[in-house]
A = this chain, B = another copy of it.
Amino acid sequence: MSFNQAELGFDIVIIRLGGEIGIKAAWTRKMYERRLIGNIKAVLKYYDIPHEALNRRFGRLYLKTSQAQSASQRLARVFGVSSVSPALKTTSKLSDIIDKSVQVAGSTLKKRSSFAVRCRRVGEHTYTSQDVCREVGRHVLDTYSEHGLRVDLKSPDTTLSVEVREDEAYIFTDVMRGVGGLPLGAQPKAVCLLNENIGSAVACWMVMKRGCPILPLHFSEDPAFINEDTDRALKAAKTLFEWAMGFPRKVGIVSHGLNLAQIEQNCPKKLKSVLSKRVMYRVAKRVAEMEHAEGIVTGESINEAAGQALHVLSLQDEAAEPFPVHRPLIGLDAAEIEELARKIGIHDVVVQKVDVSEAPLKTEVAISREEVSQAEENLNIDELVKRSVEAIKTLSL
């Protein structure tokens, strides 16, 4: 790629924290940062990335590692990280900065390309930021004069960045965008209804991104748990857990087939969907209580032409009380959900179908609270829920 064939050993990764972390009150910020550091260490351990130190300075994290490039790619996917740069560290002596900058330029600039030098400086130095830009630019042009480089301050092919912080300096060209969000574990755990469709997995990821570790619950219609849907849901869970290094990788599988059979036998057909959901929510609520989780997450979105639909949602929510039901996809388009699925890596794992709030219901079917209560009495619903909770099979993925 570059004209300098010698491999450049970046020796440090600059990790920039999400803007939301910086503006928190001191106590919260410290807690978030501690979480983030713990999560970063779990990723380094999982991928066996050697490192000497992980320091917090100047509102950033600096990771000293011989594998700065690959570490950067991994760390860009840690929630709470806004961007990362593999960098070369040196002292704040101008001659050192020039030497190392020339080295970085040699291994990243392409022949006949344009570049700019930018400098940010914190602390007292014998030179200005402009001095750094001018001197580094001149030395790069001189050193590689045969390669037809040119300076373009407006839209350079490459920006050579020099950050001088007190008595240290960091030189880099690449700023990889991080996933953002809040550090996982900064928020309480959530129980997530995870099925084989794209929506529920994306919903899980969105609450993870906001700091909630997840406990996915999958409701299987197959008593042996070996049908294709369960398989897909488990694959989705595995992919989600790759975003949650260091956190439990547990999935609960609920045998829901028997519940559905009971509902079909004993209740009006039009109530099947809402009753099935209410059983699920009740089971999720029990699990949330046992596991000290604080909310229930589903992948439903507003998607049907129905005056009835939103009322049905509230009939469902009732069953989860006192836990709030979160629907992070409620304002998203199918195309946006698919785009997220690609980013997360679950797009080819799950079924390309977005959940609708009340799938099997037609627009004009009115359902009253009384009908639902009556049906649940006929069902002996507490028994159904108790049996389902007792029979939950927990897998560690």
Residue positions of A touching B, CB distance < 8 A: 18-20, 24, 28, 31-32, 82, 180-181, 186-188, 203, 206-207, 209-212, 294-295, 301-307, 309-311, 313-315, 317-318, 321-324, 326-336, 363, 369
User: Chain B residues with Cβ under 8 A from A212's Cβ?
Assistant: 302
Instruction: Indicate if the CB atoms of B330 and A326 lie closer than 8 Å.
Output: yes
Are B322 and A20 closer than 8 Å at their CB atoms?
no
B209 touches A310 (CB 8 A): no
The 4 lowest CB-CB distance pairs between A and B, nearest first, are A206-B331, A328-B331, A294-B310, A210-B302
Known: A302-B187, A302-B211, A324-B310. A331 touches B203 (CB 8 A): yes
Known: A28-B305, A188-B307. 14 other contacts (CB 8 A): A20-B335, A31-B305, A82-B335, A181-B333, A209-B333, A210-B301, A210-B330, A210-B333, A211-B302, A212-B302, A294-B310, A313-B324, A314-B321, A314-B324
CB distance from A25 to the nearest CB of B (A): 9
A24, A311, A336 interface centre (most CB from chain B within 10 Å): A311
Q: Would A180 and B333 count as touching, CB distance under 8 A?
A: yes
Residues of B within 8 Å of A326, CB to CB, are: 302, 327, 330-331
- Of the A-B pairs whose beta carbons lie under 8 Å apart in the complex, a sample of 26, sorted by A's number, is A19-B334, A19-B335, A20-B303, A20-B333, A20-B335, A28-B305, A32-B305, A187-B302, A188-B310, A203-B331, A206-B330, A207-B330, A207-B331, A209-B333, A210-B302, A210-B303, A212-B302, A310-B323, A314-B322, A314-B324, A315-B322, A317-B317, A322-B369, A326-B327, A326-B330, A328-B331
Q: Bound state CA distance, A347 and B336, in angstroms?
A: 22
CB distance A334 to B294 under 8 Å? no
- Cβ-defined contact, A20 with B317, below 8 A: no
Q: How far is the CA of A304 from the CA of B25 in the complex (A)?
A: 10
Residue pair A323, B327 in contact (C-beta under 8 Å): no
| CA gap between A180 and B334 in the complex, in Å | 10
**A203 CB, min distance to chain B CBs, angstroms:** 7
* Residue from A318, A322, A323 having most chain B Cβ neighbours under 10 A: A322
- Distance (Å) between the CB of A7 and the closest chain B CB? 30
Contacts of A309 in B (CB 8 A): 294
Q: In the assembled complex, how far is the CB of residue A372 from the closest CB belonging to chain B, in whole angstroms?
A: 12
In whole angstroms, how far apart are the Cα atoms of A328 and B336 in the complex? 14
Asked whether, in the complex, the Cβ of B317 is within 8 Å of the Cβ of A324, the reply is: yes
For residue A180, which residue of chain B has the nearest CB?
A: B333
Residue of B nearest to A294 (CB): B310
Chain B residues with Cβ below 8 Å from A187 are 302, 305
The residue in chain B whose Cβ has the minimal distance to the Cβ of A317 is: B324
Taking CB atoms, residues of chain B closer than 8 Å to A311 are: 294, 322
